[in-house]
Amino acid sequence: MAKYSLSNKTVFITGAAGGIGAASARALHARGANLVLTGRNASSLDDLARELGEKRSLSLPVDVTDRAALQNAVAHTVDRFGTLDIVFANAAIGPDLPATIATIDPELFERIIEVNLLGVWRTVRAALPQIIANRGHVLVTSSTYAYINGAVNAPYAASKAAIEQFARALRIELAMHGATAGVLYPGWVRTQMSRPALGGHELTTRMREVAFPSPLATAISPQVVARRAVQGIERRAPRITVPRRWQPVGILRGIVNPLSDRLLSRHAKLQLLLLALEDAARTGATRHAQTIAKPVASKTVSS
């Protein structure tokens, strides 16, 4: 397939205020694209628009759960740039701290599904007439959580698996129009969202270290994800896995998943951490849980 040039294309990106979204916006802009930067934090979006230069960027505060606001934002995009060629549905939330299905706040569970699944659906649906008319591209930010076990992160993992299915279906449905869709699968990335698991919260960090083998637990920068996302859009790639060390897991998921589920359900250290987590959730005694978890985890690391 010929390279899909980004020069003078207009990209509508959600969750553009920071992390992977902001890094991708910068990388897309450097390739000559016009950027429509959306998110909830207007001042961060404005700062990024100023940095990129307002000639080829537009900051639009939009909540991805608001269907009407998304439709207005798409109309505004077309008014301003005359076209919308690429939609990058990247916004998402996760639980600030890990929680089991038995103890997670039900409202938080449903909010995560609403933002991460329905927000992607509403974003893409609003942009789709333009994408089809312009033979454009849709990229959704899923996660390796689309296919690994989502224990203590179930609504997030469920939402990421759901949007993987959404984008795969969309790719087939768009083929007859000459448009394309792809899925971005980042592993661990150093952003605001992953901060608790990357040292910001002791128990959460220990769970990541215990549950993931070390090459997979290692985090990369959002700039690395952005670079691969741009290359993937230019190839209209169906899948972009970053870092590449996750690719064998994705490819062999039919074999790896039953084995890892079996291993994790019998993993004594992980089960003790889960007990500590549920204990903390039920009693509200986070500090108590951390003191239980710490010796358990340090024993396991050294054993």
Ligand X SMILES: NC(=O)c1ccc[n+]([C@@H]2O[C@H](COP(=O)([O-])OP(=O)(O)OC[C@H]3O[C@@H](n4cnc5c(N)ncnc54)[C@H](OP(=O)(O)O)[C@@H]3O)[C@@H](O)[C@H]2O)c1
Specify the stretch interacting with ligand X by CB under 6 A; choose among 10-18, 74-82, 171-179, 258-266.
Answer: 10-18
Q: Name the residue nearer to ligand X (CB basis): 253 or 294.
A: 253
Taking CB under 6 A as the rule, does residue 59 contact ligand X? no
95 DSSP 8-state letter: -
158 φ/ψ angles, rounded to the nearest 5 degrees: -60, -40
* Size of the residue set binding ligand X (CB under 6 A): 29
268, with CB counted inside 10 A (0-12, 13-18, 19+), is exposed
Active-site residue (options: 4, 145, 147, 156): 156
196 contributes a contact to ligand X by CB under 6 A: no
Q: Which of 57, 191, 204, 241 binds ligand X (CB under 6 A)?
A: 191
Please report how close the Cβ of residue 57 comes to ligand X at its closest, in angstroms. 15
Per CB under 6 A, 20 contacts ligand X: yes
Could you give the CA distance from residue 210 to residue 21 in angstroms, rounded to a whole number? Answer: 29
- By CB under 6 A, the residues from 220 to 239 that bind ligand X are 222
Among 27, 52, 64, 124, binds ligand X (CB under 6 A): 64
Smallest gap, in angstroms, from Cβ of residue 285 to ligand X?
28
Structure-block tokens of residue 144? 């390796």
28 vs 93, beta carbon nearer ligand X:
93
Least distance (Å) between residue 73 CB and ligand X: 11
272: left (phi over 0), alpha (psi -120 to 50) or beta: alpha
Q: Is 156 an active-site residue?
A: yes
Candidate residues 34, 90, 153, 204; the one interacting with ligand X per rule CB under 6 A: 90
Backbone angles phi, psi at 276, to 5 degrees: -65, -40
- Residue with smaller CB distance to ligand X, 48 or 174: 48
Determine, following the binding rule CB under 6 A, whether residue 201 of this chain makes contact with ligand X.
no
Q: State the pairing for strand pair 137-141/239-242.
A: unpaired
Alpha helices, DSSP H, located in the chain: 19-30, 42-52, 67-81, 106-113, 119-133, 154-175, 202-211, 214-217, 222-234, 247-251, 253-265, 268-283, 286-302
In this structure, how many other beta carbons lie within 10 angstroms of the beta carbon of residue 79? 9
- 56 contacts: CB under 8 Å, gap ≥ 6: 29, 33, 34, 35
| 14 contributes a contact to ligand X by CB under 6 A | yes
Q: Does 72 bind ligand X (CB under 6 A)?
A: no
C-alpha angle 97-92-80 in degrees, rounded to nearest 5: 150
Q: Could you tell me the two tokens for 240?
A: 């972009």
The yes or no reply on residue 189 touching ligand X (CB under 6 A) is yes
Name which of 189 and 297 has its Cβ closer to ligand X: 189
Residue ranges that bind ligand X, judged by CB under 6 A = 14-15, 17-21, 39-41, 63-65, 90-93, 115, 119, 141, 143, 186, 188-189, 191-194, 222
Active site residues: 156
